[in-house]
Amino acid sequence: MRRLMYESQRALASPVRNPRMATVIGRLLGAAFLICFGTGLYSHFLQEPLDWMRFATRPEFLYQVTQGTHIVAGIACFPLLLAKLYIVFPELFAYPPVRGLVHFLERASIALFVGASLVQITIGLLNTYQWYPWPFPFRQVHFALGWVLIGLLVIHIGVKLPVITRYWSKSTSADDDHLVDAVSNDRSANAEAVRLWGPSRPGGVTGRVLDYIDATPRVAGGVSRRGFLTTVGVATTAVVALTAGQTFTPLNAVNLFGPRKKGVGQQGVPVNRTSEQALVADAAMAAGWTLTLAVAGTERSFTRSELLALPQTEVRLPIACVEGWSQMASWRGVRLRDLADLMDAAPDSSFRLISLEERGSFSKTQMGREYVRDPLTLVALELNGETLDLEHGYPARMIAPGRPGVLQTKWLSRIEAI
């Protein structure tokens, strides 16, 4: 068995399968995961804030950038994770497979980390297309997996810290480059490997390096390090560039794979949840629709005509959705703070927004006082110079700076001070 494992490692040896390359790709992948985790936390707590939390309303495109970055970093994880798996694949054939309890825990944590990573980025990608071929709730599982992944990442870094430290610096990289160049031409590089990494030991760093050295002439026609890094760089750039246009306007022309495209949809704005899905068409188009405001036990209802008769404000704000797409648009309507003042609402009041939609996770949402009092927050009645389309929330919807699209409640029916 030992001989078979050894021969398997020799057969899989490649100039790119070494600790230095694993460190280079690993730190890029780690950075992508940390960006995803940070921006994901921000999105989560915007949607489910703790009582003490307050959020910035400027710049007004803040969520557009953070969530767009979240999706872009998540997509970049695909080629980076596959590259890392390609590099460390021979480790599956290390002998003995388990060398003790600590080694078992190390291998188990890596297996969990790889499995959780693949699940996390896959369900995240499918969520951008609003396709859910699984029985569990996406948001809760995606959030929980994020914490699991960060925990496993910390464990992985802790376990591999000596190797990471060794191969992180430029000086170590120079040693690697010198050795690899020597290996390509001279088997006597075995001696230099021993000098650089110490005596060989089965399954240790030096053992793997010497296996690599012995096998290198047999794989001389394989992928070079430069070719490998170029391939990873091109693949990562491609998957990002061909989807990021759904958020970042300069790349809109090459948005081939993003589920939404800027300017495509009613009134030039994409639509996520339709009136048919929300089952609100009849109620929204009813002649007797009113928007009711409730503050401290006092209620007042406004027809659409009455809302239009109030002072109107026009603002430019993006719709920025959790799926990563966004679209800047012009909105016109009544400032929410003006409605709050009409009802003598306290300056520190938060509001509950209630939609005509009876079902759905966001048929009722909450808005903190920082948004209520922001001069850009509107009960919107028009979009891009036209009467608000039914698919965009007619007869009235909420629009506020820096909020996820799911919180920009459509088909408003009631606003309550809380």
Question: What is the reported pLDDT for 96?
Answer: 79
Q: Is the pLDDT of residue 185 over 60?
A: no
Question: What is the reported pLDDT for 1?
Answer: 59
Q: What is the pTM of this model?
A: 0.85
Over pLDDT 90: what percentage of the chain? 73
Question: What is the reported pLDDT for 105?
Answer: 83
Secondary structure element (H or E) that encloses residue 30, with its range: helix 19-47
Instruction: Encode pLDDT of 197-223 as tens digits.
Output: 444 444 444 444 444 444 443 444 467
Tell me if 74 sits within 8 A of 34, measured CB to CB: no
Question: What is the reported pLDDT for 102?
Answer: 82
Q: How many residues does the chain have?
A: 418
For the segment 262-291, the average pLDDT, to the nearest whole number, is 96
In 198-244, the DSSP E strands lie at: none
For the segment 370-394, the average pLDDT, to the nearest whole number, is 98
Q: How far apart are CA 375 and CA 335, in angstroms?
A: 7
User: What are the structure tokens assigned to 170, written together?
Assistant: 């430029």
Secondary structure element (H or E) that encloses residue 180, with its range: helix 170-183
Question: What is the reported pLDDT for 10?
Answer: 62
**Which of 328, 307, 292, 318 shows the shortest CA–CA distance to 379?**
307
**Could you tell me whether strands 378-383 and 364-367 are parallel, antiparallel, or unpaired per DSSP bridges?**
unpaired
Question: What is the reported pLDDT for 170?
Answer: 58
Instruction: Encode pLDDT of 299-328 as tens digits.
Output: 999 999 999 999 999 999 999 999 999 999
For the segment 30-44, the average pLDDT, to the nearest whole number, is 98
Question: What is the reported pLDDT for 194?
Answer: 42
Indicate the fold that domain 268-417 takes in CATH: Sulfite Oxidase; Chain A, domain 2 (3.90.420)
Greatest distance between any 2 Cα atoms in the chain: 89
197 Cβ partners below 8 Å, 6+ apart? 205, 206, 209
pLDDT band at 101 (very low <50, low <70, confident <90, very high): confident
The more confident residue out of 91 and 188 is: 91
Question: What is the reported pLDDT for 191?
Answer: 44
CATH of 1-178+223-242, one of 1.10.1200, 1.20.950, 1.10.3470, 1.20.120: 1.20.950
For the segment 217-235, the average pLDDT, to the nearest whole number, is 78
Beta bridge partners of 326: 320
Task: Return the amino acid letter for 238.
Answer: A
User: Which letter, b or e, does each residue of 262-275 get, where b requires 16 or more Cβ atoms within 10 Å of its Cβ?
Assistant: beebbbebbbbbeb
Over pLDDT 70: what percentage of the chain? 84
Task: Return the amino acid letter for 288.
Answer: G
End-to-end CA distance of the chain: 69
Tell me if 394 sits within 8 A of 388, measured CB to CB: yes
Domain boundaries, given as residue ranges, for the chain: 1-178+223-242, 268-417
Instruction: Encode pLDDT of 113-169 as tens digits.
Output: 999 999 999 999 999 999 999 999 999 999 999 999 999 999 999 988 998 999 887
Instruction: Encode pLDDT of 347-367 as tens digits.
Output: 999 999 999 998 888 999 999
Q: How far is CA 324 from the centre of its chain?
A: 8
Question: What is the reported pLDDT for 182?
Answer: 43
Q: Is the pLDDT of residue 3 over 80?
A: no
Task: Return the amino acid letter for 304.
Answer: R
